[in-house]
Chains A and B, each alone.
Chain A
Amino acid sequence: MDYQKLGLKVGVEVHRQLDTSRKLFCNCPTEPREGGETVKITRFLREAQSELGAVDPAALFESKKRKKIVYHVNTYNTCLVEMDEEPPHPLNPEAVETALTIALLFNATPVDEIHVMRKIVIDGSNTSGFQRTCVVALGGSLVVDGKEIPIQTITLEEDAARIMSTGHGYVEYDLSRLGIPLIEVSTAPVINSPAEAVKVAKAIGNVLRATRKVKRGLGTVRQDLNVSISGGALTEIKGVQELQLISSVVENEVVRQLHLLEISKELRKRLGGETLPPFSYVDATEIFRNTRSKMLRSKLEAGGKALAVKLPMFAGLLSREAAKGVRLGAELAGHARAWAEVEGLLHTDELPGYGVSAEEVAALKKAVGAGEMDAVVVVVDELGKAVEGLRAVYARACEAVEGVPGETRAARPDGLTVYMRPRPGAARMYPETDIPPVPVSSDYLESLRARLPEPLEATAEKLARRHGLSRQLVEGLIDDEREELFTKIVESHSLSPTVVASVLTETITSLKREGLAVESLTDQKLVEVFKALAEGIYSKEAVPDVLRWLCSHPEAAVDEAVKNLGLGAVSTESVEAEVMAMVMAHSSEVEDPRLANRLMGDLMKKYRGKIDGKQLHGMVLQAIERVKSAEKT
């Protein structure tokens, strides 16, 4: 695809948790720990009305589905501040220092005074109903493949609570994550291809990591993407967790927008300038009274109503698929789900089917007065929800005539996106008066400039030089974000740097490919694995097995792995004696140069992982030599 020609513009926002010892506005630790003993509290949020009475589309969206919010409070890392029961403490200076350091690394202009703002968010992810956020610097840039990518803003904010579950009328959050400092770096929309978006996000990540003050691992990094093409609309895509997913998310968004443009063109041709009539629906419950569709039947039996709406001239367009999962029908379903929590929508493009008979379809079309070229959408739910859901479907269908609606979408792990909510209007922000502004003096900035951390490239060179590592291993360590862990291990144990580096990169990657839960290999766990290796409890050949076992037993300690894998160390003397006995038994063959290798095969079967292969080989050679010389004398 010629992205340049399509006018693709992408802006990247990289969000990353800072690894400070305390949260941004209180003294809670930032270590993740969820579950355990929790207190549950119930809350409701209502947005304060604006002076102008103007309604923000995104806020209206949330308030339309005002939910009971249940917060799970784990006192290990949650206090009254996260519960919105105590005013925030002043900005954590450690986080401010890290954010300013990052600003300097991007050559951005720090503001002279940092003002914390309240950004209204009423989905419950912030107990206060707003996210506390502040701009620490403006401007700056980075260079990726020779192209300058301008930075727009660098902000420091509190991370939100993690959603646990949601259902009709309620949503549950865990407060552990709320308040962890989060740095956000936003680029200008100057990126022109999916591949470039990945590179920019990675380059920003590398600058952030140079501070050695960012968290790593699942859930600590999140990329938001702002994507548009000529003639399309700006789509905000939230929550891309993995770098590699960025390119497919952007690719899919381009496909989606092109598809919607094509459908809009087709619809306008079919409608010939007519506009769609106002929303009205028909109760089609009777038509499905004796339906064989299991989905319809179970919902109708639960007291639901089947409501139908005619989409004039939409026949065939709902199930037209531009790529797997990219269909107008899916967009309509997304709106029904987001606005009214209505799951499962049927439309005539895919009927008869799903147990719905041709007779039922005919009756349905008749009931809404649908002709050959019209489509009919049916939702089944309790009356109020069904009407709400169908109204959302119809509103989205009307937008399809116009083209691509600007909206906020959520990224899924497969690279597709789903509708979340309308795009917010101008951000609803007002000052957080509980927190005094923080002046940033030029003296302070000078002192930070004087001790800027080395860039990651310099770290890589140093690692290669000091430990004689191959370029590939060094890159692996940097990409997998394990360079600090590597240094820590080789500096505290006498182990071969190459062995440590290859375990930390290649071995773990291949275990991940096997489908193992490598997330359970925490830094602490890996340090223990290498400590045991250095102590000779097992040999390096056993390391993959130990790691594999630990992946499937995340709670277990290294010595349990040793026990369960039967790896307990053997004494050198006993192995030496056994080797000698074997060589003696083959004394007629000692002149055969292949003897050593033959014996090694059997010995390795027995001692794999318990004794270093190289050491064992040495013992065999030594034994052969001794037998030879004994025979000579």
Chain B
Amino acid sequence: MAEYFGYSGLAAALLREAGASVGEEVEVRRGGQVFRGYLMARYEFGEPGIIVLKMANGYNIGVRVDERSKVVKLTEVKPPAFNPPPPPTPREELPRVSIISTGGTIASRIDYRTGGVRAALSAADLVSIVPEIGEIANISAEILMQVYSENLTPAHWTQMAIRVDQIIRDGFEGAVIAHGTDTMGYTAAALSFALQKTPIPVVLVGAQRSSDRPSSDAATNLIAAVEVASKAPFGEVVVCMHGWHSDDLIHIHRGTRVVKLHTSSRGAFQSVNAQPMAVRTPEGLKMLTNMYHPRNGDGYVFQPRFDDRAMLVKFYPGMKPESLEVLVERLSLRGLVLEGTGLGHVASSFIPVLRKLTGSGLFVGMTSQCRHGWVNMNVYDNGRDLMRAGVVPLEDMLAETALVKLMWVLGKLGEKAEVEEVREMMLTDICGEIGGRTMPQQ
């Protein structure tokens, strides 16, 4: 039998018979007991045979039903219509910022009747929920896609880049991309390569606590992102998120240098092998470096193609060298980024396989699973042997950034690219992703 508001089996049959919809007041009679409340939708993980009611005091409870139970609908309820607030009046003196949603909910409203959370979709709605952003900029908002960030692919990066390029050409002062946090670092790197020397800030923002919670970091991050998009002196792709557990410290990271380092904490995003570009505190936005591409600077290059025939492989003790051959063959790969140990090693048993793969025109780059620091394959014999087998040390590039860059380089150079050309471009700094000085850890 088909599902009924998430219910199945007996519960679904009883509810269907009663003609009860979510939010309507029902009575569940079981034996001598009567439970009265508003019908709630059922989550998939719930045990079958239980009906969830919201009682008058606001609490939900589960009521088990059996063959002799009965459900009676008490009142018909029309879902209340949502009246969107009027759009804010544009203000001459303010810059124009475009907010693009790609998934997740940067701002939302709660339907306390059903417990449902609805994302704010329009600019008007967004400004009514986070009114501070309307004081910083004239906001336009749009939904480009609704994808959980773990489901994003390089094709989505291209789609985002095309949209931002249009926003740049439309003369906006800044672009904000609301993004799920899981793969925000990858997207930031991808857009950094696709929108080189962008004339306006392109700011990726997300939330580690969903926006329906009073404690959500969504609003503070969004306000900071709009401020960066409006006022920052640079034209770069950046990630704007909490710097720590507190709400009063927001970090602005260069798109090619940032990783999500914590599963749940607000300060999950950190710059690796680099300092954040700027911080925002209650005192305002403060630049931490003067090494950046300036806003409205020259040299904008739009290059949104990615070739996804590249792969990131993490080495582990005991890993079979043949696994690389299988991957390359099955997936017709054009390049590999290895996440090796320490200064950039995989077991010496990999050398013959690697020599064969690089000899056949495959690019193989080396990064480190240590995350912090440079790879240096000159220190140990094995490293030198790996280089002799054709493995290219990728200096201080983040493994994720190296993969994204490889996809972009393959896309840019096209099918006929020589491995030597790939190697050269991989080692050229394009948007602050490689090289530089390493500072003591904080």
Contacts and interface: CB of A to CB of B under 8 A. Distances in A.
A51 B61 contact: no
A117 to B, nearest CB: 6
Contact of A50 (B58, B110, B246): B110
A430 interface: yes
B213 A128 contact: yes
Contact of B266 (A85, A427, A436): A85
A19 to B, nearest CB: 25
Contacts of A113: 46-47, 50, 52, 61-64
Contacts of B209: 84, 128
B111 interface: yes
A85 B265 contact: yes
B356 to A, nearest CB: 46
Interface in A79-122: 80, 83-87, 109, 111-115, 117-120, 122
A128 B214 contact: yes
Interface in B111-144: 111-113, 115-118, 128-129
Interface string A126-156: 0111100111001000000000000001010
Contact of A426 (B58, B80, B216): B58
Nearest to A426: B58
> Most chain-A CB neighbours within 10 Å: which of B33, B63, B245?
B245
B230 to A, nearest CB: 21
Contact of B58 (A41, A49, A117, A433): A117
B110 A430 contact: yes
A429 interface: yes
A471 B323 CA distance: 80
B248 interface: yes
A171 to B, nearest CB: 14
Contact of A115 (B60, B116, B128, B219): B60
Contacts of B212: 48, 430
Interface in B43-77: 43, 45-47, 50, 52, 55-64
Contacts of A118: 213
Interface in A359-415: none
Interface in B23-50: 33, 40, 43, 45-47, 50
Interface residues of A, number: 52
Interface string B265-305: 11000000000000000000000000000000000000000
B260 interface: no
Contacts of B108: 48
B264 A80 contact: yes
Interface string A10-53: 00000000000000000000000000000101111111111111
Contact of A80 (B117, B213, B265): B265
Contacts of A134: 59
A439 interface: yes
B215 to A, nearest CB: 4
> Most chain-B CB neighbours within 10 Å: which of A46, A53, A86, A122?
A46
A86 B265 contact: yes
Given A43-B247, A135-B59, A437-B46, A48 B214 contact: yes
A428 interface: yes
B149 interface: no
A231 interface: no
A51 B52 contact: no
A68 B281 CA distance: 13
Contact of B246 (A43, A52, A80): A43
A498 to B, nearest CB: 48
Given A87-B264, A112-B62, A113-B50, A50 B109 contact: yes
A554 interface: no
B83 interface: yes
Contact of A41 (B55, B109, B219, B246): B246
B237 to A, nearest CB: 27
Given A112-B50, A115-B60, A135-B55, A129 B111 contact: no
A46 B110 contact: no
B61 A48 contact: no
A50 B265 contact: no
Contacts of B208: 85
Given A84-B209, A86-B265, A50 B245 contact: no
Contacts of B50: 112-113, 439
Contacts of A117: 58-60
Contacts of B215: 43, 45, 84, 127-129
Contact of A430 (B52, B63, B112, B264): B112
A431 interface: yes
B8 interface: no
A117 B247 CA distance: 25
A45 B109 contact: no
B219 A46 contact: yes
A109 B246 contact: no
Interface in B206-249: 208-209, 211-216, 219-220, 244-248
A128 to B, nearest CB: 5
> Most chain-A CB neighbours within 10 Å: which of B116, B214, B244, B245?
B214
Contacts of A129: 213-215
B246 A42 contact: yes
Contacts of B265: 80, 85-86
A436 B45 CA distance: 8
Contacts of A68: 248
B46 A48 contact: no
A130 B43 CA distance: 21
A437 B62 contact: yes
B80 A130 contact: no
A630 B59 CA distance: 87
Nearest to B262: A85
B58 A112 contact: no
Contacts of B58: 117, 119, 426-429
A246 to B, nearest CB: 23
Interface string A416-430: 000000000011111
Given A43-B247, A48-B109, A117-B58, A109 B64 contact: no
> Most chain-A CB neighbours within 10 Å: which of B45, B46, B59?
B59
Given A53-B83, A436-B45, A429 B211 contact: no
A51 B84 CA distance: 10
B64 A49 contact: no
A586 B33 CA distance: 86
A64 B345 CA distance: 58
A423 to B, nearest CB: 14
Contacts of B40: 431
A85 to B, nearest CB: 4
B59 A51 contact: no
Nearest to A436: B45
Nearest to A70: B246
A48 B110 CA distance: 7
A112 B49 CA distance: 10
A50 B115 contact: no
Nearest to B83: A53
Contacts of A109: 33
Contacts of A52: 80, 82, 111
Contacts of A436: 45
Contact of B57 (A84, A427, A437, A439): A427
Contacts of B60: 115, 117, 429, 431
Nearest to B268: A85
Interface of A: 39, 41-53, 68, 80, 83-87, 109, 111-115, 117-120, 122, 127-130, 133-135, 138, 153, 155, 426-431, 433, 436-437, 439
**7 A-B pairs with the lowest CB-CB distances in the bound complex, closest first:** A113-B62, A129-B214, A427-B58, A112-B64, A51-B111, A429-B58, A115-B60
7 contacts: A43-B215, A46-B214, A48-B211, A51-B110, A113-B47, A129-B214, A138-B61
Given A86-B264, A153-B59, A431-B60, 17 more contacts: A42-B247, A49-B109, A49-B128, A50-B109, A51-B111, A51-B113, A52-B111, A84-B215, A85-B208, A113-B50, A128-B209, A130-B213, A134-B59, A428-B112, A430-B110, A430-B115, A437-B52
